[in-house]
Structure 1
């Protein structure tokens, strides 16, 4: 059976995936599936750099604003929804395009990962939550580093929820999350072209800093304050970069200046982790952005590569 064609656009935060994906969708008659784990949440707009209706330029976008901020979401759910969307988009004669930076989510779709039900242990989980509360998130992070250093290298130490879940999986199954990932399929499920966008590090970090400043000007503090006043606290959405830092300010644990600087620093660190993940886990063709070559010429270069890789024609 012939595999469905799929274009994937990955890269670190602030590198320009959104703009490029819209341009390529116009050229290849495509529809875009967001590969961002936080843009699924309603109300998390500024902090996740969510695309606006104007920026979509008429291109259909999927898996954006499908969850309330208090709801959970995981790679298994993303994989199921994205796979169905790919089949639907391809079935209508269009090119499915996944654009985003959440590595495991995208990898799970590309390889058709299977996610069996993992048992849980509420008593054990509560004990870890209490440990994190009393000793700080570093305490449970150190436990994960001992048991599963690969997962510890992927999960930010502040993301206590994910760290505890990784520890709980090992406690219940005797296998780490990394080991379970190794058991997953290794053959691409799709006829895929995986495009990676990179940029000079200093330039990328400056773009990240500028983006954070722009987010603050656009009203990120008001956006976070609305979630804070709604008493949203122990939930996945608030673990997003841009929200947890400003929660610390609203809790009186940090000055405003320190919270913004922490947001910038965590964003830069996240960009570095994204690049490490994509380089180690996926067969990516990389393109350098932000060079003296104009964006239009870069689009021409990338379009020519995609057309050859997927054997499709671009609209001019």
Structure 2
């Protein structure tokens, strides 16, 4: 049985769809979300774990809550963890469903990116510590030209820490050519959940209000109280960046809400840009409308899967 991948921008309803599909097909879900790997970061990352309970049955899921908050989980680790879980699921004769919005993680799995682990470079980090985000971005662009790398999208670098890590990786690859780790590509039916711009913006705003009402600020206060440095939370971007800045007095509540709302809208747009790029790079995505009834979406995916199997 071929893997099914369900992708789409934030707030399109892909998790609920994947869970319903997994329940019907007796499949298991592998998450493709770069922030849902962290324990205790639940509301801000939108884990929505209740979605994995369908008709009173808990749908098995993987690669959620596998790393400690404050650590820097990366693409290399994800690819390694994915293949471990994928081998276990398929080895039991079960179909895996890959679901998420982190296009880089999904593409790395489907195309079999060849990666090597990159250690931290304290001397380089110290030299870069005083530079602005604009300066770091220019350095990253120059390095990418030298290495020919397409592994980092500069629009996703929204903090100095992220930019420094990207520079660290490109510098290492330039100065220390290493034996590539062989990861095979994974064959998959790929389904994208398409949502209109206006509806997407409405859902994002409503979900942000709901998450704030449901304790997102308290969640981040708790993480800080556990000793996780504010800069480490800011590194994760989006909700953790803006709410941490609010909690630590760097912004007002209104500034936090407006800035975060805008940042999530921009993030969703970048997700769609990445998915369209995947199509240009040879990955066929079957798009279905988010506005369709759940049963219709399930029927369409099952028909596509039957043709692929």
The TM-score, its normalising length taken from structure 2, stands at: 0.86
1:31 maps to which residue? 28
Whole-Å Cα distance in 1 between the matches of residues 67 and 77 of structure 2?
Answer: 12
Q: How far off its partner does 1:168 sit?
A: 2.1
Matches within 5 A, 1:87-126: 87-118=87-118, 120-126=120-126
Give 3-state SS (helix, strand or coil) of 2:101's partner: coil
SS of structure 2 residue aligned to 1:193: strand
Match among 211, 220, 227 for residue 223 of structure 2: 227
Change (3 A) 1:5 1:242: same
For residues 84-130 of structure 1, the C-alpha deviation after alignment (integer angstroms, 9 at most, x for no partner) is: 11111111111011100112212222223232243653212211123
Contact 1:15–1:289 (8 Å) recurs in 2: no
Shift, 1:13, TM fit? 0.7
Q: Do 1:120 and 1:172's aligned partners in 2 also have CA atoms closer than 8 Å?
A: no
Per the alignment, in what secondary structure is the counterpart of residue 235 of structure 1?
helix
Aligned partners of 1:279, 1:122: CA distance in 2, in Å?
37
| Unaligned 5+ runs, structure 1 | 312-316
Asked if structure 1 preserves the Cα contact closer than 8 Å seen for 2:43 and 2:211, the reply is yes
1:6-30 Cα offsets, whole Å, 9 max, x none, are 1111111111110110111122221
Q: Contact 2:52 / 2:59 at 8 angstroms: preserved in 1?
A: no
| Cα distance change of structure 1 residues 54 and 23 upon mapping to structure 2, 3 Å threshold | closer
Deviation per CA, 1:128-150, whole angstroms, max 9, x where unpaired? 1232xxxx433322332444386
Output the CA distance in 2 between the equivalents of 1:167 and 1:281: 24
Per-residue deviation at 1:54? Answer: 6.1
Q: Is the 8 A contact 1:30 1:97 kept in 2?
A: yes
CA offsets 1:223-262 (integer angstroms, 9 cap, x no match): 1111123332243675232111011112222110110111
State the SS of the aligned residue for 2:286. strand
User: SS at the partner of 2:46?
Assistant: coil
Distance 2:107 2:164 in 1: 22
- Residues 1:240 and 2:266 are matched in the alignment: no
Q: Figure out how many residues of one structure are paired with residues of the other and give that number.
A: 297
